[in-house]
Structure 1
Amino acid sequence: MWVFDLDNTLYPADSDLWPKIDARITLFMAHLFGLDGMSSRALQKYYYERYGTTLRGLMEEHRVSAQEFLAFAHDIDRSGLVPNHSLATAIAALPGRKLILTNGSREHALRTAQALGLDEMFEDIFDIVAADFTPKPEPAAYERFFARHDVDPTRAVMFEDLPRNLVVPHARGMTTTLVVPKAGKMVQREAFEMVSEALPPHIDFVTTDLESFLAAIIAREDGA
């Protein structure tokens, strides 16, 4: 079983996609609360760090409609994404099932995967709605995922760009791989989400090049 995060994992971390989503969330907050941009962004990041997603904070504290929020946040231009044929080939060659596990919406994952030429590579998508709006890294999100898709975590591999989202998978027996930006590329994440110089013990592997990493796995399998 091969489990992939979506944002900043299946597309490069220096892509403009995540900043577009981030800006849409800030705009949603500004409209909702009548705040200026700086205040909206500060509140957005407070909810994100405290609740795991801004949406969860808005649902918990303000009863905001999840559907309205997700539709607004993911209403972005994806034309900057181009099909990644080498990654599609590598994923297709992996033996066994492949799934996407994302804190975003199913529609966002589908549209993004389509833009990348990866939509035919995956059996299914487990999104924030399927998780009952409980986001990674909360243990309940993973348990719902395991149960919904009959996943034996001890026989599964997970690819993620956020170290904290690999803590529970590793504890449950998954092999974990952190996907990080290539040297010199811009990091589109918050400082508290990133690893320090010392690699945490819950991360088994690190790669800056997902398609090459997968190709090496396939080559090793073929040579076994």
Structure 2
Amino acid sequence: MANTSESGADLSHVRSWIFDLDNTLYPPESQFMKLVEKRINQYVVRTSGLAADAAMVAQKGYLRDYGTSLAGLMAHYRVDPHDFLAEVHDVPLDVLTPDPGLRAGLERLQGPRLIFTNGSVAHAERVLERLALTDLFDGLFALEDADLIPKPDPRTFARMTERFSVDPASAAFFEDTVRNLAPAKAIGMTTVLVGGHAFDVEADYVDHRTTTLDTFLATAILTPGDPAP
């Protein structure tokens, strides 16, 4: 199995730091994504004519088969993707709160910090502002930047790395959805699975695992030969 230590991970080779957004830069326990999922369900109900329960089954199937609910909807129905993104992300941000520990961990990182999300640009900007992290990130690659082709499609990884001139061999990718780490590992990135399920997943393309991102970043070894703080 890959490294299962939450503390003291050797990331001294990393020069580019790439982070998923939702359920990665804030804990899933906030239930924030449940609000988004509810809006998606309402959209699927209205578009498909299915009852709410059946729409939820379809929604989860789209996520599994296409990478996002939007991609599944576009494959089966005539939908305006930009209207979809605006509608489903129009949720209150009250449950999200800034985390000083996470901010301190991010501040330790030397090199560009990037957001790589299957959400929209506007959604990412709202969430980062709410988390008081906007100033720490040097770039954002959202679903619109990928021509609506979501992770884990390798084409989207190629486009993201090209956009920001990322050398995968010196990049780390932090993500809560394990399958999104596979294409990152395939091109040479160091992969970090984040979240409460991180230690329950068997995947040889996961290099590091952590339930708490702030602790992982606070204790990572960032300079060759130097101990973590």
| TM-score, with length taken from structure 1 | 0.89
Distance 1:49 1:68, change over 3 A: same
Aligned length: 212
5 Å matches for 1:9-24?
9-24=24-39
Task: Measure the CA separation in 2 of the matches of 1:84 and 1:196.
Answer: 23
Query: In the TM superposition, what is the alpha-carbon distance from 1:145 to its structure 2 partner?
Result: 0.5
SS at match of 1:14: helix
5 Å matches for 1:103-118?
103-118=118-133
Identity of aligned residues (%): 39
| 1:3 equivalent in alignment to 2:18 | yes
Which stretches in structure 1 are left out of the alignment for 5+ residues?
A: 182-193
Residue 158 of structure 1 aligns with which residue?
A: 173
Task: Measure the CA separation in 2 of the matches of 1:169 and 1:93.
Answer: 23
Which stretches in structure 2 are left out of the alignment for 5+ residues?
A: 1-15
Query: In the TM superposition, what is the alpha-carbon distance from 1:149 to its structure 2 partner?
Result: 1.1
Task: Measure the CA separation in 2 of the matches of 1:177 and 1:21.
Answer: 24
Task: Measure the CA separation in 2 of the matches of 1:163 and 1:88.
Answer: 24
| 1:212 equivalent in alignment to 2:215 | yes
Task: Measure the CA separation in 1 of the matches of 2:171 and 2:68.
Answer: 25
Task: Measure the CA separation in 1 of the matches of 2:37 and 2:130.
Answer: 19
Query: In the TM superposition, what is the alpha-carbon distance from 1:153 to its structure 2 partner?
Result: 0.5
Task: Measure the CA separation in 2 of the matches of 1:107 and 1:160.
Answer: 20
8 Å contact from structure 1 (residues 93, 218) kept in 2: no
Larger relative contact order, structure 1 or 2 (CA cutoff 8 Å, min sep 6): 2
Residue 206 of structure 2 aligns with which residue?
A: 203
Residue 44 of structure 2 aligns with which residue?
A: 29
8 Å contact from structure 1 (residues 85, 117) kept in 2: no
Cα deviation 1:105-127 (Å, max 9, x = unaligned): 01111111111111111011100
| 1:134 equivalent in alignment to 2:153 | no
Residue 140 of structure 2 aligns with which residue?
A: 125
Picking from 85, 96, 107, the partner of 2:111 is 96
Cα deviation 1:164-216 (Å, max 9, x = unaligned): 000010111100000022xxxxxxxxxxxx77846311000000111111111
8 Å contact from structure 1 (residues 4, 159) kept in 2: yes
Residue 12 of structure 2 aligns with which residue?
A: none
Residue 223 of structure 1 aligns with which residue?
A: 226
Task: Measure the CA separation in 2 of the matches of 1:175 and 1:137.
Answer: 16
Task: Measure the CA separation in 2 of the matches of 1:99 and 1:222.
Answer: 26
Give the partner amino acid of 2:129.
Q
Cα deviation 1:123-163 (Å, max 9, x = unaligned): 11100110111111111110110111111111100000011
Query: In the TM superposition, what is the alpha-carbon distance from 1:61 to its structure 2 partner?
Result: 2.3
Residue 75 of structure 1 aligns with which residue?
A: 90
8 Å contact from structure 1 (residues 94, 218) kept in 2: no
Task: Measure the CA separation in 2 of the matches of 1:196 and 1:63.
Answer: 40
Aligned CA-pair RMSD: 1.8
